[in-house]
Amino acid sequence: MEIEYVSVSKILPAYFNPKSRAKSQRSVSGLLESLKKHGMLNPVQLSEMQDGTYLTDDGHRRVYCARILGMADVPAIVNRQQKNAEERFEALNTHRPLISDDWLEIYLDTDGAVNPPAKTLGHIRYVLEIMGRAGLELLRSSSTSPTIAGTVKSVVAKFNETAYLREGAPTPSQILTWMIRRKTHFFVKNNLSRFSKKNLETMKRRILSDKEFSLADV
């Protein structure tokens, strides 16, 4: 593929990529030093938009560092086929692990090294498994603790204990979305062990219809 040079001022972050969020210079210090010494050896990958700007498919950190260093342009491989940008991002990143220091840094709002407890990693992995990156973004946008994943698992287990509750039960993705939207995480977490089958049946209906569930239903 042909490499061309694109003005940094015309490159935009992809809204659907968590790496497009603001970073600190500390978190990319190693990359900054490398670019100072060697320049940008690997081209970024961009998609050209109809207005003449470019969405970043791959290389958000490099573009961010290029701005800090005052680089006028960067080497790039440009896609001009107007393919759906989100699909292109997924295709370019399927070889990467879903959980990395970058993802955790973005999720946990940390600056620099990230050393979350194994339990937190487990919760985030579960959310990624059931909803993908959209689930992780949903957690962040609502400032919800990743421990909600444990409550989702507990609710699924409760439904599975009884045949009529298990039949047509909401999916883990539906449960997670409902808890975040209706802010029922801690209420369910703190009271689930004492819910009767009737309470669980009511909660099941509330989840499937995306309606409130509170102390009045218990």
User: Is 25 in the same domain as 52?
Assistant: yes
Is 177 in contact with 141 (CB distance < 8 Å)? no
Q: Name the domain boundary from 40, 61, 93.
A: 93
pLDDT digit string, tens, across residues 22-64:
455 566 788 888 899 989 988 998 888 777 888 887 888 888 8
The SS3 of residue 2 is coil
Task: Looking at the structure, tell me whether residues 71 and 128 fall in a common domain.
Answer: no
pTM to 2 decimals? 0.53
Q: Looking at the DSSP assignment, which residues form a beta bridge with residue 54?
A: 11, 48
Same-domain pairing of 59 and 110: no
Q: Are residues 83 and 113 in the same domain?
A: no
Same domain, 211 and 167: yes
> Above 50 in pLDDT, residue 111?
no
Count of domains forming the chain: 2
| 122 plus 83 within the same structural domain | no
pLDDT value at 215 more than 80: yes
Q: What is the CATH number of the domain that holds 36?
A: 3.90.1530.10
**What share of the chain in percent tops pLDDT 70?**
72
**d(Cα 85, Cα 16) in Å, to the nearest integer?**
9
**Are 113 and 59 contained in the same domain?**
no
Report DSSP state, residue 215.
Answer: G
Of 44, 71, 93, the one marking the end of a domain is: 93
Q: What is the pLDDT of residue 160?
A: 93
58 C-beta neighbours (distance < 10 Å), count? 21
The residue from 58, 93, 128 where one domain ends is 93
Asked if 181 and 108 sit in the same domain, the reply is yes
Under 8 Å between Cβ of 107 and 139:
yes
Compute the distance between CA of residue 117 and CA of residue 95 in angstroms, rounded to an integer. 25
114 with 45, same domain?
no
Judge whether residue 104 has pLDDT over 70: no
Residues 158 and 200 grouped into a single domain: yes
Query: What are 90's two structure tokens?
Result: 């997924």
| Structural domain range at position 106 | 101-217
- Contacts of 164-167 with CB under 8 Å at 24 or more apart are 164/201, 165/197, 165/200, 165/201, 165/204
What pLDDT score was predicted for residue 116?
57
pLDDT digits (tens, 9 = 90+) for 120-129: 777 777 777 7
Domain shared by 13 and 114, yes or no: no
Q: What are 178's two structure tokens? A: 């409902």
Position 178 confidence tier, pLDDT thresholds 50, 70, 90: very high
Answer whether residue 112 shows pLDDT above 50: no
Looking at the structure, tell me whether residues 132 and 84 fall in a common domain: no
